[in-house]
Amino acid sequence: MVKLSPELISQCMQYTNPVHDRELDLRGYKIPIIENLGATFDQFDTLDLSDNDIRKLDGFCFLKRLKCLLLNNNRIVRIANGLEEFIPNLESLILTGNLIDELCDLDPLSTLPKLTTLSLLYCPVTSKQHYRLYVVYKIPQLTLLDFKKIRLKEREEAAALFNSDYGKEMRRTLEKRSKAKTFVPGAPLSRPANGTSNGPSSEQIQKIREAISKASSLEEVERLNRLLQAGQIPSNSKKPEGNQNIGNNEEEEEEEDEEEENEDVEMKEDLTNGHY
Give backbone dihedrals phi and psi of 15, rounded to 5 degrees, phi first. -160, 170
- What's the rounded Cα separation, in Å, for the pair 71 and 25? 11
Q: What average pLDDT does the segment 80-85 reach?
A: 96
pLDDT bucket at 261, cuts 50 / 70 / 90: low
What per-residue confidence (pLDDT) applies to 106?
Answer: 96
CA geometry: angle at 82 spanning 65 and 248, to 5°? 110
Task: Report whether pLDDT(254) > 60.
Answer: no
Task: Please state, in angstroms and as integers, the Cα–Cα distance from residue 270 to each residue in 128, 152, 168, 264, following that order.
Answer: 21, 21, 15, 10
Q: Which residues pair with 32 in a beta bridge?
A: none
Q: What average pLDDT does the segment 270-274 reach?
A: 48
Lowest mean pLDDT among 46-55, 196-205, 211-220: 196-205
Task: Report whether pLDDT(200) > 90.
Answer: no
pLDDT bucket at 191, cuts 50 / 70 / 90: very low
Contact 50, 74 (CB under 8 A): yes
Lowest mean pLDDT among 8-22, 78-92, 236-250: 236-250
Higher pLDDT, 257 or 239: 257
Q: pTM of the full predicted structure? A: 0.67
Higher pLDDT, 238 or 235: 235
Task: Report whether pLDDT(173) > 60.
Answer: yes
Percent of the chain whose predicted confidence (pLDDT) is above 70: 69
Task: Report whether pLDDT(9) > 80.
Answer: yes
Q: What average pLDDT does the segment 53-63 reach?
A: 97
pLDDT tens profile 88-118: 999 999 999 999 999 999 999 999 999 999 9
Q: What average pLDDT does the segment 65-71 reach?
A: 98
